């Protein structure tokens, strides 16, 4: 067995992700939506996603602490990480002014491009399928209507309802 060698990038990344998870989780603590009449708890999905996010951070932290000497991990693509973080911040900021579907239609292609994927047909197909599908899952599956123009508005406009 080799000596333990610290992977400082993983430790820093793991601590950052865990800290961000804790900060975001503090914003969805129980009791913040008492008395709100909803079919389902609107915080279930964010809490689940934050738990997955925290597991990823814990994995990075543990990986950094217990790496064996001679173990090589892929280098962190910090520019891509920063690009996705900036895009995610802009995406969440855009929810209220332009709505979920338009923000998603803009974010997904930009995310693909910033990660280096360039096939325009695949980018368009994934974007045009994912945005309405996500809206539908949240609106119908979780009874959470994403902000802005939604699929029900589009169907009403197309059907003249």
Residue-wise pLDDT tens digits, 8-38: 777 887 787 787 777 777 766 666 555 554 4
Q: Tell me the DSSP string of the chain.
A: -PPB---HHHHHHHHHHHHHHHHHHHTT-TTTTTT---SS-TTHHHHHHHHHHHHHHHHHHHHHHHPBTT---PPP-HHHHHHHHHHHHHHHHHHHHH-HHHHHHHHHHHHHHHTT---HHHHHHHHHHHHHHHHHIIIIIS----SSS-HHHHHHHHHT-
In the chain, domain spans:
1-76, 77-161
Residue-wise pLDDT tens digits, 80-127: 888 988 888 888 888 778 888 888 999 999 999 999 999 999 999 999
Residue 160: pLDDT band (50, 70, 90) is low
Q: What is the pTM of this model?
A: 0.59
pLDDT value of residue 45: 63
């Amino acid at each position: 067995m080799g000596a333990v060698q610290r992977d400082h990038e993983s430790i820093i990344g793991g601590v950052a992700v865990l800290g961000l998870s804790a900060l975001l989780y503090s914003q969805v603590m129980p009791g913040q939506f008492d008395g709100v009449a909803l079919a389902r708890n609107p915080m279930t999905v964010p809490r689940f996603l934050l738990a997955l996010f925290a597991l990823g951070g814990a994995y990075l932290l543990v990986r950094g602490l217990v790496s064996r000497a001679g173990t090589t991990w892929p280098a962190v693509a910090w520019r891509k990480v920063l690009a996705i973080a900036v895009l995610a911040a802009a995406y969440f900021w855009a929810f209220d002014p332009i709505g979920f579907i338009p923000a998603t239609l803009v974010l997904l292609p930009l995310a693909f491009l910033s990660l280096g994927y360039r096939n325009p047909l695949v980018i368009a197909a994934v974007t045009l399928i994912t945005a309405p599908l996500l809206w539908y899952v949240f609106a119908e599956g979780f009874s959470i209507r994403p902000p802005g123009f939604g699929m029900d508005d589009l169907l009403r406009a197309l059907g003249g309802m």
